[in-house]
């Protein structure tokens, strides 16, 4: 089985660690194993990986079976957009917000500019009308 896997494997050699990091983040691996002297560079700058395994004593199989991390991970580069399946994957969330008069006066112009830029006049008007009323108080 290992010989067959090696037949289908690729090796990409790069001179610079920063180049390797860029390549890894672009590829978005399901599993990313860090075993190098400068591990902090990779730990602090990895942005696309399903799960990261750090050091010589952290094999992928530990994450799969015993260390408590997720085993259901995004494949085929999908770690650039998705996390592994976790409890949040099975829950629904609702966001709540309350803006004070002062708050709307502070962010209102920004909302108007962004709504205008998107061509959403009714969204802009929803703020403009309120701002006009507040400024006339």
pLDDT bin (cut points 50, 70, 90) of residue 108 is: very high
Within a domain: 60: yes
Residues 36 and 86 in one domain: yes
Catalytic-labelled residue, pool 7, 16, 17, 30 = 30
- 86 pLDDT exceeds 90? no
Query: What's the pLDDT tens digit per position in 7-26?
Result: 999 899 999 999 999 999 99
**3-state class (DSSP) for residue 34:** strand
My answer on whether 73 and 22 are in the same domain is: yes
Each residue of 42-63: pLDDT tens digit?
999 999 999 999 999 998 888 8
Enclosing domain of residue 108 = 101-135
Q: How many structural domains comprise the chain?
A: 2
In 3-state terms the chain splits into helix, strand, coil percentages (rounded to 5) of: 50, 5, 45
Catalytic entry in 17, 31, 60, 112: 31
Same-domain check for residues 105 and 48: no
Most confident of the ranges 42-51, 76-85, 86-95 = 42-51
Q: Which residue(s) pair with 33 in the sheet?
A: 53
Q: Is 102 noted as a catalytic residue in this protein?
A: no
31 carries an active-site annotation = yes
Check whether residue 86 and residue 53 sit in a common domain. yes
Same domain, 18 and 83: yes
Q: Could you tell me the pTM of the whole model?
A: 0.65
Q: How far is 76 from 91, CA to CA, in rounded Å?
A: 25
Determine, yes or no, domain membership for 3: no
Q: In terms of DSSP H, where are the helices of 16-120?
A: 17-27, 39-45, 60-65, 101-117
């Amino acid at each position: 089985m290992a010989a067959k896997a090696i037949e289908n494997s690729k090796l990409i050699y790069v001179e610079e660690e920063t180049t390797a990091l860029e390549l890894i983040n672009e590829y978005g691996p399901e599993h990313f194993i860090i075993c190098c002297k400068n591990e902090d560079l990779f730990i602090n700058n990895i942005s696309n990986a399903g799960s990261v395994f750090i050091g010589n004593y952290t094999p992928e199989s530990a994450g799969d079976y015993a260390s408590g991390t997720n085993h259901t991970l995004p494949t085929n580069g999908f770690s650039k957009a998705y996390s592994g399946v976790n409890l949040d994957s099975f829950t629904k969330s609702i966001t709540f917000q309350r803006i004070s008069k002062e708050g709307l006066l502070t962010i209102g112009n920004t909302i108007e500019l962004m709504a205008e830029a998107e061509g959403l006049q009714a969204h802009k008007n929803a703020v403009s009308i309120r701002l006009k009323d507040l400024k006339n108080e």
